[in-house]
Structure 1
């Protein structure tokens, strides 16, 4: 199991819009992305995180290069971001 964690710096006023992007693309992610096993939205005081589950690191990397991520998700989130997203990949042991 591999986790892809994307941390987004979003103003509190823009968080409902960011959550709407998450909801809009959750099912397409789970239904069409190879190796996708789950997706969760984590909201903290200082940021918003999206935690994606994958069967392998190769599946996670392929998603980061996919049109769903680069065009759709990033395209809709870009106006809401205060900084570049922090993207991390974690492998379970």
Structure 2
């Protein structure tokens, strides 16, 4: 069971939601293979947004992921043209 969650909510126009959802498949394996403490990732799709729910061993692992090349140079750069607003990023710890 994960001990911390990183939730990233992205507001995306409905016309682009399918493309953005396709990015999930592209980055799922590298995330799980390369990121310290990563245990799983899920994609949640709503009417006006998508959420990525990342599971980590620790909150420190979740925070460290936000500084990685995979997050900043690959994931964010790929989604930048699809995102309507600044991503909402939150870290939760399981107690």
Structure 1 runs not aligned, ≥5 long: none
Residue 22 of structure 2: aligned partner: 20
Residue 58 of structure 1: aligned partner: 60
Q: Answer 1 or 2: which has greater helix percent.
A: 1
Shift of 1:17: 1.0
1:20-39 correspondence runs (5 A) = 20-39=22-41
Describe the superposition over 1:20-60 as per-residue Cα deviations: whole angstroms up to 9, x where unpaired. Answer: 11110000001110000110000011211000000001111
TM-score normalized with structure 2 length = 0.96
Residue 75 of structure 1: aligned partner: 77
TM-score normalized with structure 1 length = 0.98
Structure 2 runs not aligned, ≥5 long: none
Shift of 1:72: 0.1
How many pairs align?
93
Larger CA deviation: 67-76 vs 41-50:
41-50
Query: Helix, strand or coil for the counterpart of 2:85?
Result: coil
Task: Report the Cα distance in structure 1 between the residues aligned to 2:76 and 2:36, rounded to whole angstroms.
Answer: 19
Shift of 1:8: 0.3
